[in-house]
Chain A
């Protein structure tokens, strides 16, 4: 619940409600990006960015290298698979 999984924003889905499609460990899912959008990072500039996703919300930006390290750590700790399986089952439901 607390660790967060890195994902890459692939597309802006809803500009008004700040929803983006994010690829999280191979699962594409709608994610709310309100917490990572500001004047410096307008929504339309976010495609391609790596973000840390907690419970369907992007909470922080991270660079690609950091994302790769975090993904490797989560895989080693064995914490990620259950969440990814759950995401797959639940699907995108924003």
Chain B
């Protein structure tokens, strides 16, 4: 087992792998297909590859990579909207680094910057607020995206702008929520999953209970897990044990970081600022009724969508769908592996990404590429 030495605690890792191997056939039972376990979060995908965990698992278990990378599920039309806002002469457009290279139908934010737009990469939404304070004559927009991990930070930043009465700051809100996305995956007829590894840092904010519906309504076991290779192995063992014992529960492997009830202050800020959006489009998953959020009317003055009358880019023919030959949607839904996409490692690579899954190291195409999984056998 060539990767085992890379574990900080190889003996424990070995024991967990042995236990998983022992339990997996019992867990699989009479099924024809291997057990399909989805790691929802791109951070987990990254760890799975880096430590070769997927290749240590017995044939009874197959990992399915989930859509839990916020830039990967961003529809192209939203990137087009970002570019359209950034092209307004008065605007300073600010964003997390991951979002800069995501292709839109016309261009990425990075290309917009090269073409002369004032696009700035920031580490925190608070940096964007600081830029707004320093540039009262300009409009400063922050591209708020991500699952619940980043939602408290953008909500608290907006509340701070409101407190200060800043007039030239707004959020372009593209946040999405994890439980609703999971529900969409569970109702997708092409995807037949058996269980989930749930994201650690999202759960740190929302706690364990928002996943109760997964076990109650869909009868799929779920384990919340951290990002250490041993965390993931332990979580897989917990999951396989649930199958073997015929249990179906929400379990928390990452209790050292994830409180049962989540982060109270973070949840309060989210509830104060955001409300469920009726329709939101996800790359690969199409329209999901209640996964996206928007800024509440009380804070409309800080909503870039209202300020700039979005969508403003549709006149130029922008649509949210990927070109036919790019298979991002199928990879995102877990029904196709990256190397099955005709563009993979040919025209699409991390230096020149055609799809968002190749942009962030957490995207599954980037992970397959980085760890040399260029075809099924490699």
Known A69-B8, A93-B131; 18 more pairs at CB < 8 Å: A1-B146, A1-B149, A3-B43, A30-B126, A32-B156, A35-B263, A36-B265, A37-B265, A54-B153, A54-B201, A55-B124, A56-B123, A59-B205, A59-B266, A70-B228, A86-B97, A90-B124, A93-B126
Q: How far is the CA of A50 from the CA of B199 in the complex (A)?
A: 21
**Residue among B96, B156, B269 with most chain A CB within 10 A:** B156
Q: With CB as the reference atom, state the residue of chain A lying closest to B41.
A: A2
User: Could you tell me which residues of chain A, from 46 to 94, have a CB within 8 Å of some CB in chain B?
Assistant: 52, 54-57, 59-60, 62, 66, 69-70, 72-73, 76-79, 82-83, 86-87, 90, 93-94
Is A69 within 8 A of B228, CB to CB?
yes
Residues on A with C-beta less than 8 A from B222 are none
What's the Cα separation between A2 and B45 when bound, in Å?
Answer: 13
Query: How far does the alpha carbon of A91 sit from the alpha carbon of B71 in the complex, in Å?
Result: 25
B97 near A82: Cβ-Cβ < 8 Å: yes
Interchain CB contact (< 8 A) of A2 among B43, B97, B126, B257: B43
C-alpha spacing A94/B302, complex, angstroms: 18
Of B127, B130, B149, which is in contact with the most chain A CB atoms at under 10 Å from its CB?
B127
Asked if B265 contacts A34 (CB within 8 A), the reply is yes
Given contacts A76-B50, A83-B123, contact A93 B130 (CB under 8 A): yes
User: Is there an interface contact between B228 and A38, defined as CB atoms closer than 8 Å?
Assistant: no
Quick one: given A59-B201, A73-B227, are A2 and B150 in contact (CB under 8 Å)?
A: yes
| A7 located at the interface, meaning its Cβ lies under 8 Å from any Cβ of chain B in the complex | no
Indicate whether A34 sits within 8 Å of B156 (C-beta atoms), given known contacts A56-B127, A62-B256, A94-B126. yes
B361 touching A78 by the CB < 8 A rule?
yes
Q: Mark A26-42, 1 if CB is under 8 A from B, else 0.
A: 00001010111110000
CB-CB < 8 A to B42: which residues of A? 2
B97 touches A32 (CB 8 A): no
**Chain B: minimal CB distance from A27 (Å):** 10
A60–B71 Cα gap in the complex (Å)? 24
Residues in A whose Cβ lies below 8 Å from that of B8: 69, 72
The A interface, classified by DSSP as helix, strand, loop or mixed, is mixed
By the criterion CB–CB under 8 Å, are B96 and A57 in contact?
no
Q: Does B341 contact A (CB under 8 A)?
A: no
A60 to nearest B CB, angstroms?
5
Q: Determine the chain B residues whose CB is within 8 A of the CB of A87 once the complex forms.
A: 123
Contact B156 A79 (CB under 8 A): no
Q: Which residues of A contact B121 (CB under 8 A)?
A: 86
Q: Name the B residues within 8 Å of A37 (CB-CB).
A: 265
Known: A2-B362, A60-B263, A79-B361. A55 touches B150 (CB 8 A): yes
B131's nearest neighbour on chain A, judged by CB, is A93
B47 to A: closest C-beta gap in Å: 7
Out of B47, B71, B201, which one reaches A4, CB within 8 Å? B201
How far is A73 from B150 in the complex, measured between Cα atoms in Å? 21
Per CB-CB distance, the 10 closest pairs between chain A and chain B, nearest first, are: A56-B124, A93-B130, A57-B153, A55-B153, A35-B265, A86-B123, A35-B266, A93-B127, A55-B124, A2-B149
Q: Taking the nearest CB of chain A, how far is it from the CB of B183, in angstroms?
A: 20
The reply to whether B43 and A57 form a contact with Cβ atoms under 8 Å apart is no
Return B110 CB to nearest CB of chain A, in Å: 14
**Measured between C-beta atoms, what is the minimum distance from B167 to chain A in Å?**
19
